[in-house]
Structure 1
Amino acid sequence: MRFSSRTVPFEPNPIALAEADMNRAGRTLRKLNDSNPTKHGLGPKSIEGAYDADPKGPRQAREALSVMMNSRNRRSADGWGDDAPARHVDPASLYLLSSTSQAYSWLIKLLCDAGDAVLVPKPGYPLVESIARLECVEALSYPLRYDGSWTIDIAAIAGMLESDTHGRIRALIVINPNNPTASYLREEEREAILALCRRYGVAIIADEVFYEYAFADEQDCPKRRRFAGEPSVLTFALDGFSKLLAAPHAKVGWIQLSGPDADVREATLRLDAIADDYLPMSSIIADRIPELLGIADSQSDLVRHRVSGNLATLRQMLKEDEHGLVNVLHAEGGWNVLLRFPAVIDEDELVIALMRDCGLTAQPGYFFDMESNGFLALSLLPEPPEFERNVGDVLQEVNSRIASMA
């Protein structure tokens, strides 16, 4: 596995080696240069506890997170079978940080030098491309195709990796399920991606923040499986409170590191250095993680009930609309779906009309690199009356614009 030249781990100096030996022997050393005010009675009384600079984040918080993740894995219906032992989440494999956005930034630093590239899905959320650009790295798109359901163009990925004779491509990013297509990876796609990444020495960054939100009424959903904990390829799985708790203001995200032992050891050395430079998560936030994990199941259930109910409402409203000009693309999980309307209506003109006539704004398909005109992203999160109003406004505006063309 190839790593960025800017994260070369330094060999420990003689003092660091001697300190490590003393620590292993159970001997506590006083520090002549200890400038941590919380160790000397100078921290504010309103913020209890002493600061302990663990680059991965406070151990207690990571242990609580691993307990939750292991419990979730045990009751999962994903059919891991004999792979289950490899899926055990060790607190040492977790890195706590403020968001998955920060995780992308750290991982691009870890894997890429300036001018390197990562592969990202298209359609997809534009955040990753923006972060890659800030890191002086190119985001190369691989296509998702729609033919009644979404599939990844594996042949296109293989062609991009094969033609990458200079080894610029350092990571393949998968969003599972994708946003805005609301599609999970199929088992055969997952296995093909793993095989390609092994063959070309490319790491996987798996964004699985929406994974828990499969739509309950989708009987034809593919068999789902996480990348988190994957042992055969260096894998960085991303998740966080923003989606798990429906709490974007609770800035907690995490990276779960897995893969072949040698790659994991090297990645850990380098990622520890990055995490140490940026300093660990605030203990003010981390101290609340165990408490907040206690409401994870109820919060996820609340969101699942809302999005499933609104999706059923959407389908009923589209079915009852006499004009039948709007439909929803096949969706399997997440918080958002894509509406399709006649492509003779310009996306910008429709959104501006919704703003003018209904006081409603929207994100058109081209925001997500849809290859053709005629799409709007629709959130399934609003309270039911507001959701029905939103859908009704879209139907009315589309119908009226088509009528005006007749």
Structure 2
Amino acid sequence: MRFSSRVGSTRLNLIAKAEAAARNQGIALETVNDSNPTRHGLAPNQVPGVYTADPRGPLAARQQLARFLTKRNLKEAAAEHNPSVSVDPNRLYLLSSTSEAYSWLFKLVCDPGDIVLGPKPGYPLIESIGGLENVDTLEYQLRFDGSWFIDVAWLRELLGSGQGQKIQAIVLINPNNPTGSYVKPDEREELVALCREHDVAIIADEVFFDYSLEPFVGNRRLAGERGALTFALDGFSKLLAAPHAKVGWIEVSGPGELVQEAQRRLDIIADDYLPFSDIIAERMPELLGAVSGQLDRVRQRIRTNLKRLHTILDEDEAGMVSLLRAEGGWNVLLRFPSVIDENVLVLRLIHDFNLTGQPGYYFDMTENGYLAVSLLPEPEVFERNIRAILAVVSRELDMV
């Protein structure tokens, strides 16, 4: 696999070679220009201790996270036959967010002008970060036929084309936002084989994985995938329902030699940024301990609202609004008659109900007539929002 030429030179100067040789012999070298004040008795009382610049994040915090992830995998393995259970802390990278993880990984695998594939419909974050990294993004379609599926045949043709030579990674969001669709088992098998064949890395964004709604059987995480070079992203933002809890992580897996080379280069990127604070690391046990309760709390809310949504739509006499099956996540897509312009619908919500929303074209839906709706509001607020949408749809249809 070709990695970015921007990072990871294998050439060492004479001093670096001598330092490496000393380390290999177990010799601890002191540095005459050591500018880490915590190693010289100058740490403040508020932040005591000696700072160790570990590019992957403090080892103790990664070990705590690895134990948490391993325990989670053990729980899932019995039901889902997950072959990857134990998580190695040395294959984890701690950073401030999954958005930062995307940025690092685009640097890792792409030179300017290379291509990353992202799902459409989908959240526009990938395209935005790609632009910041001078990386081109190309959409692959999720198609709907009673449920969402990936057009793997189209991807196979694309990767075999001349343009395919520039494709360095594919982003798989599992489950996707706003479609709520997980990567199906047969899709996973084909995609892993394609990525291995064409030397394409998988970036698996699994921040919504734990929030299943109406899933199909057999969905499982891409984290730990061994068939192709895989970078799985997750973090506290969704696990704790706390966007202000800025802790994310990358789990690296795949064929051994590829993982080794990827981590050697990723270490350089991580060492340049060193984003993870020891102050946050100290709270890792507390934060990890809160995950289970928060997952239960959010699941109860979104599943309660989803059930109520089904009831409201079933009881609606007009029957002009339907719900696309949502397998997982926090959001669902409502479908309304395409004779109503999406902009008109949202503008009417603003004018009549002091509500706003994100229409389907925000996510590059291929046709008119969709509105994304969050399942997170308190039930009374959620029902009020849905009834406002139904009222606007009914009113606009009367005017057609």
Unaligned runs of 5+ in 2: none
Matches within 5 A, 1:4-15: 4-15=4-15
Q: How far off is 1:64 after superposition?
A: 0.6
Query: Contact 2:74 / 2:85 at 8 angstroms: preserved in 1?
Result: no
Q: How far off is 1:320 after superposition?
A: 1.0
Partner of 1:30: 30
Q: Give the 3 Å change call, closer, same or farther, for CA 392–110 of structure 1 in structure 2.
A: same
Matching residue within 307, 310, 315 for 1:315: 310
Q: How far off is 1:134 after superposition?
A: 1.1
Name the CA distance, whole Å, in 1 between partners of 2:5 and 2:317: 61
Name the CA distance, whole Å, in 2 between partners of 1:166 and 1:150: 24
Partner of 1:345: 340
Matches within 5 A, 1:147-296: 147-164=145-162, 167-215=165-213, 218=214, 221-296=216-291
* Secondary structure at 1:294 match in 2: helix
Query: Contact 2:223 / 2:251 at 8 angstroms: preserved in 1?
Result: yes
Matches within 5 A, 1:311-390: 311-390=306-385
Deviation string, structure 1 residues 305-335 (Cα, Å, up to 9, x no partner): 1100000011111111111111110111000
Deviation string, structure 1 residues 138-164 (Cα, Å, up to 9, x no partner): 111111111111111011111111113
Partner of 2:76: 76
Deviation string, structure 1 residues 219-243 (Cα, Å, up to 9, x no partner): x613111110111100000000100
Matching residue within 78, 86, 89 for 2:87: 89
* Secondary structure at 1:376 match in 2: strand
Name the CA distance, whole Å, in 2 between partners of 1:290 and 1:202: 35
Query: Contact 2:158 / 2:164 at 8 angstroms: preserved in 1?
Result: no
The answer as to 2:71 corresponding to 1:64 is no
Deviation string, structure 1 residues 53-73 (Cα, Å, up to 9, x no partner): 000011111111000000000
Query: Contact 1:176 / 1:206 at 8 angstroms: preserved in 2?
Result: yes
Deviation string, structure 1 residues 87-120 (Cα, Å, up to 9, x no partner): 4210000011111101001000000011110111
What's the TM-score, normalizing by structure 1?
0.95
Q: How far off is 1:165 after superposition?
A: 5.2
Amino acid at match of 2:50: A
* Secondary structure at 1:170 match in 2: strand
Q: How far off is 1:9 after superposition?
A: 2.8
Query: Contact 2:80 / 2:218 at 8 angstroms: preserved in 1?
Result: no
Name the CA distance, whole Å, in 2 between partners of 1:109 and 1:314: 42
Unaligned runs of 5+ in 1: none
Q: How far off is 1:275 after superposition?
A: 0.6
Q: How far off is 1:384 after superposition?
A: 0.8
Query: Contact 2:96 / 2:275 at 8 angstroms: preserved in 1?
Result: no
Matching residue within 389, 397, 403 for 2:398: 403
The answer as to 2:45 corresponding to 1:45 is yes
Matching residue within 132, 135, 140 for 1:134: 132
Name the CA distance, whole Å, in 2 between partners of 1:336 and 1:226: 19
Matching residue within 287, 301, 305 for 1:306: 301
Query: Contact 1:182 / 1:337 at 8 angstroms: preserved in 2?
Result: yes
Q: Give the 3 Å change call, closer, same or farther, for CA 193–62 of structure 1 in structure 2.
A: same
What's the TM-score, normalizing by structure 2?
0.96
Q: How far off is 1:17 after superposition?
A: 4.5
Amino acid at match of 1:169: I
Name the CA distance, whole Å, in 2 between partners of 1:165 and 1:293: 43
Name the CA distance, whole Å, in 2 between partners of 1:361 and 1:165: 39
Query: Contact 1:78 / 1:224 at 8 angstroms: preserved in 2?
Result: no
Q: Give the 3 Å change call, closer, same or farther, for CA 164–80 of structure 1 in structure 2.
A: farther
Name the CA distance, whole Å, in 1 between partners of 2:204 and 2:314: 36
Amino acid at match of 2:271: D
Name the CA distance, whole Å, in 2 between partners of 1:200 and 1:301: 40
Matching residue within 89, 95, 98 for 2:96: 98
Name the CA distance, whole Å, in 2 between partners of 1:184 and 1:71: 22
Deviation string, structure 1 residues 246-280 (Cα, Å, up to 9, x no partner): 11001111000011111011101110001111124
Query: Contact 1:184 / 1:222 at 8 angstroms: preserved in 2?
Result: no
Range with greater deviation from structure 2 (1-10 or 107-116): 1-10
Name the CA distance, whole Å, in 2 between partners of 1:196 and 1:132: 22
**CA-atom RMSD in angstroms:** 1.6
Q: Give the 3 Å change call, closer, same or farther, for CA 390–198 of structure 1 in structure 2.
A: same
Name the CA distance, whole Å, in 2 between partners of 1:160 and 1:370: 21
Name the CA distance, whole Å, in 2 between partners of 1:26 and 1:328: 63
Deviation string, structure 1 residues 284-303 (Cα, Å, up to 9, x no partner): 22221121001111111111
